[in-house]
Structures are given as structure tokens and as C-alpha cells.
Amino acid sequence: MSSIILEAHSLTKKYRHTVALEHIDLQIEKGKIYGFIGQNGAGKTTFLRLATGLAFPTSGSLSLWGKTDTKELQEQRKRIGCMIETPALFPTMTAYQNMEVQRIQRGIPDKAVIEKTLNMVGLKDTGKKSVRNFSLGMRQRLGIAIALLNTPEFLILDEPINGLDPAGIVDVRNLLKSLNNEYGMTILVSSHILEELYQTASEFILIDKGKIVEEISAYELNERCKRHIAIKTTSPQKALLVLEEKLHTENFKLLPDGIIHLYDYLDDMEKVAAALSDARILVTGLSISGDTLEDYFLSKTGGTGNVKSPKS
Amino acid sequence: MSNLLKAEFYKLFHSRYFWGIGAFHLSLSSVLLLDSIGETSNLFFASLYNTPILYFLAIVFSALFVGNDFGQRTLQSYINTGHTREQVLFVKLLVYQIACMIILALPLLIHGLIGELFLKETFVSVGGNLNTVLTATVSLFTMCLLPFFFAFIFRDTGKALAVPMVLFFLMIFLMNGDQALFISQILPMGQLRLIALQQLTAPMMPFILTDFLWIFILYFGAYLGFRHSDLK
């Protein structure tokens, strides 16, 4: 059985004056948590709306569990739980009643699932309080609860931690991780809060101006963001020997393009330069590199406008 | 689809708008009887006479029951969870029409029964009036469909309220103009007024066909507008 849950081929969405998505090729694999990152207007929500059937692509194809036919695609959406932009709630109803509407329309026979899911998001004790009197964070939690009601195989959350307090953010993060661990749930989360995504996701999709800029795993991202001395030389193998023998370190990596990343001596770059110079190795570049997570994303998405870190 | 239907009925019965507008319509219609009773021959027709004026309440209900569903993205959640747009439209129409018919027709039934029981009026027992009842029912059904159509076209509470409301006043204006009789014959709202004044004489079939034409146009208009539309 294929491990691909969602696949997009050359997916394009145009509005009257703008191209929201341009030839998107993307695969979402089973059991992973994906962080979907991009600035406002980058096309994140448009993509999620296409995936959830709220909008139709101008061209290209989208498949869910290998199904591409319109009717079959819609049928597969029963396996998805989602919250796109703001939670879909009836303001005059209570949290329980909101969940009950969703339970009925999804054909879930067991009413106990409502209490269980409300408990999961910390909304068990809201009683007869109408949703209109809920705080933004509570609404967000209820939206997440609705998305989780049928224990979906694929969970899509658009900005789920908007309006949540720090404790709520931690709760949601832990919840997503436990859902992924316990049920093998595949999760696609879009967010502006990079540090939060960084702590949750195992894969990252960077989107900018309607195009996928990069798909990268958390491991690769860590490697790229790690601070290091980047050494450019005409004799990399010889330089590695010098680092081992003269500087007594093996904490380095030789990249395919010949650049050496040295993770030690960050505070003593002169010593590295001197060692290489003494060994008569021509060094064409020597600098400290490594981005913060935020820097890395901004360098890829090309802007500083809307992507934010809680630390900034 | 049965799950969707059950969910919509659950929503309807928990809807404050439905009970509130229903109760308000009944009381306002009862108060207005004092004015219309002199214009018509019995309590049922007097109540029917007021129905076009109170049509704005059906428009308000439509904006709140259907328009709000779009505005709050709750209708979109049906699509997210795998229901087809055809199913969503059909179920929404069915439940909305039942609710709207209850709101608009309940005063007619109650006032008709009061007339029958306490004022010794004989409207219900007269076989010839079945045609009238049928025409009135089809007209009411068509009237309900107009704001529903706009709610599905605009998919927004404000526009779903404003546009039908403007049309409502326009129809009232036209029904009082030079071509009042002709306009009243082709507009479901006008047909009700003519029935109330017993000016809509047999055969009723052309009027029923006119209403069915309206139903066809409005339903398929809503379907075509909704089928491939991008939802917020």
C-alpha cells in the first residue's frame, strides 16, 4: 500500500488578477508531521483549501490516497480532519452542541467521543457557555477538537495556535505529537510561528509567492542551521587531515561541493587559518556560517514582512 | 446524506432564529389581522393578506440560517468532511424550506383554524378552496426560495439579507404600480395577495406553472452558482 497520502502535480490556482499557486508539485507521506511555512499571501491557505475541497484548481491535479476523480476525491476527504483559517463554529451553541452537529453529520455513532475529544483539548468544563462568549484561544481549541472528532488519518491545521496562550501552545504541540505517535496520524500544520513549527514538525515545506521553495526534513534543517566555520579550499582532503592531526578534531563535515563545515573552534578562527596556512593549503574562503531558524526561512522566502518568531 | 439531514435538523431545532422569528411572525401576523380582517372574507384570507408584508421575516431567517452558515464557515465544514456540494445544497434547501414554510404558513393554519372553530367560517371544508390552498402553498414555497437563492449566490450574511430585502421593497412597489394586476400574477408574493382578495380566479394552473418556473430558475441558479464556486 502506498505511503503517499496527498500528491499534487503541477497544481495551479489563479484568481482574476493573481496567481495564488503556480505549478505546485508536492507529496505528503503517511505518518509525518509537516510544517507549512510561508508569508501572508504565499499560497498556504489556498493550497489547504484545494486539498479540503473548498476551492478548485485552475490546472494540475490533486490526489488523496491515490484517488484523483472528483467524486472519489471527495469521498477520501471523510478521512481528513481540518481547520482552515478560523474554526467553523455556531456561536449561539455550546461547545458540546457544536461537536454534536459535527458528530451527527460525520455519522459517528458513539456520543462519548465528544467528551473524550473536548477533554483532549481542555474544553470539558465549558458547560452551557455559548461559543460566542468563548475567548479566541477557546474557539481555536474547539476548532481543533472538531477536526479531531473522527480521529482522522490526515489532519490539516491552518494556523492552529493563533490566539493560544503559552500553555495552550504547549498543549497543542504535545497533542499533535501524541496523535502522531499513538495513531500514526499524518499532520500538515501551517503557521507563522517558526519556533513552534520547529518543535513540532518532522518535515518542512517552504512556500513563497505561490511556489514551493524547498522541502526539507528537520534533520537537514538542523544541519543547515548549525553554526560552523565554512572552509573553502582547493585541497579539501588535505585540509581534513590538518584538522584531524593539528587541531585534533573530527567534528567536521565535507560537503559534496568541497566546502568543509567545521563545528569546533568557532571562537578561535585564527587558529584554524594558521593551521591550514602552516600546512601550505590555499584557503579561498573562511567564515562563520549558520542561520538561526528564522534567518534560514527568511533567506529562502525572501522577506522579513510576515514570518515571525516568538523570540523576535 | 441522512447524516447531513439529521445534523441540519439538529441545528434548526437549536436555532434561536428559527423559534424567535417564528414566534415574532405569528404574533405580528395576529396583530395585523385587526387591519386586514376588513379587507377579506375570513380569518384565513385576512392572515394570507398579511403574508407578503411579513415576507421580510423569511428573508431575515434565510440570511441567518443560510448566509450565516457561509459566513461562519460551518457549511464549508460539510464539504471538508466529504459531503458533495449537491448533497449539501439539497439538504440545506430541504431543511430551510421546511423551516421557512413553518414560519410563513403557521399563522395561516392557526388563524384558519380559529376562524373555523370560533367564528364558524367554513374555509377548510369547502372543496373548491383546495386549489387555493395548493396555489398558496406553491407561492409560499417559491417565496422562500428567493432569499435562499441569494444566500447561495452571495454566500455572505450581509448580501443575503440586503439584496432580497431591496427586491422585497421593489416587489411591493411594483405591486402597487400601474401594472399591479399583471405583476401580482407573476410574482408569488402578488399571487398570495390576489388569493387573499379572492381576485385570483380559476384556473389556477397557469399561476402554479409560473411558480414552478420560478422554482426551477432559482434552484438551478443556486446550484450552478454553488457547484464550482470557491468557498472562503
Residue A85 burial class via C-beta count within 10 angstroms: exposed 0-12, middle 13-18, buried 19 and up: middle
What is the per-residue pLDDT for B39? 73
Res. A59: pLDDT tops 50: yes
CATH class of the domain at A4-217: alpha beta
B49 falls in which pLDDT band (50, 70, 90)?
A: confident
Q: Which residues contact A116 (CB under 8 A, 6 or more apart)?
A: none
Q: What is the mean pLDDT of chain A?
A: 86
In 3D, which of B215, B176, B40 has the Cα closest to residue B184? B176
**Minimum-distance CB partner of B7 among A82, A89, A101:** A101
What's the confidence (pLDDT) of residue B117? 79
**HSE-CB of B124 using CA atoms within 13 angstroms:** 13
Amino acid at A196: E
Query: Quick check: B3 and A89 CB within 8 A?
Result: no
Q: How confident is the model at residue A34 (pLDDT cuts 50, 70, 90)?
A: very high
Higher pLDDT, B85 or B202: B85
pLDDT surpassing 80 at residue A46 = yes
Cα-Cα-Cα-Cα dihedral sign, residues B101, B75, A180, A116: negative
Q: Give the minimum alpha-carbon distance from B91 to chain A in angstroms, rounded to a whole number.
A: 11
- Is residue A162 very low, low, confident or very high in pLDDT (cuts 50, 70, 90)? confident
E-strand spans in chain A?
4-14, 19-29, 33-37, 59-64, 80-83, 154-158, 186-190, 203-208, 211-217, 228-233, 252-254, 260-262, 283-289
- Residue (of B117, B141, B124, B129) closest to B51 by Cα position: B141
Q: Environment class of residue A132 by beta-carbon count within 10 Å: exposed (0-12), middle (13-18) or buried (19+)?
A: exposed
H/E stretch holding B103: helix B85-118
pLDDT band at A312 (very low <50, low <70, confident <90, very high): very low
Q: Which helix (DSSP H) or strand (DSSP E) does residue B24 occupy?
A: helix B16-36
What is the mean pLDDT of the segment spanning A261-271?
A: 84
Q: Is the pLDDT reported for residue A304 higher than 60?
A: no
CATH 3.40.50.300 spans which residues of chain A? 4-217
Nearest residue on chain B to A93, alpha-carbon basis: B14
| Contact across the interface for B16 and A55, Cβ inside 8 Å | no
Residue A163: per-residue pLDDT: 78
Q: B11 contacts in A (CB within 8 Å)? A: 90, 101
Residue A24 makes CB contacts below 8 A (sequence gap 6+) with A8, A10, A11, A12, A43, A47, A60, A210, A211, A212
pLDDT band at B90 (very low <50, low <70, confident <90, very high): very high
Nearest of B207, B203, B206 to residue B193 by alpha carbon? B207
* Of residues A295 and A3, more confidently modeled: A3
Pairing, β A186-190 against β A33-37: parallel
A122 conformational bin, left if phi > 0, alpha if psi -120 to 50, beta if neither: left
> A311: pLDDT confidence band, cut at 50, 70 and 90?
very low
Residue pair A88/A143 in contact (Cβ under 8 Å)? The answer is yes
Q: A182 falls in which pLDDT band (50, 70, 90)?
A: confident
Name the grid cell of B50. 398579511
Report d(CA A37, CA A214) in Å as an integer. 10
- pLDDT of A229 over the 60 cut: yes
| Residue limits of CATH 3.30.70 in chain A | 227-289
Please tell me if residue B86 touches chain A, with a CB cutoff of 8 Å: no
Report d(CA B143, CA B183) in Å as an integer. Answer: 15
The pLDDT tens digits of the residues spanning B179-218 come to 877 887 888 888 888 887 777 666 778 888 888 999 999 9
> What is this model's ipTM?
0.82
Average pLDDT across chain B, whole number = 86
pLDDT in tens, B109-153: 888 888 877 777 766 544 567 777 888 888 889 988 999 999 999
| Residue A233, phi-psi category: left (phi > 0), alpha (psi -120 to 50), beta (remainder) | beta
Identify the band that residue A292 occupies on the pLDDT scale cut at 50, 70 and 90: low
**For the domain A227-289, what is the CATH code?**
3.30.70
Can you tell me the distance from the alpha carbon of A40 to that of B98, in angstroms, rounded to the nearest whole number? 42
* Least CB–CB distance from B72: residue in A56, A75, A90: A90
**Cα separation of A289 and A228, whole Å?**
5
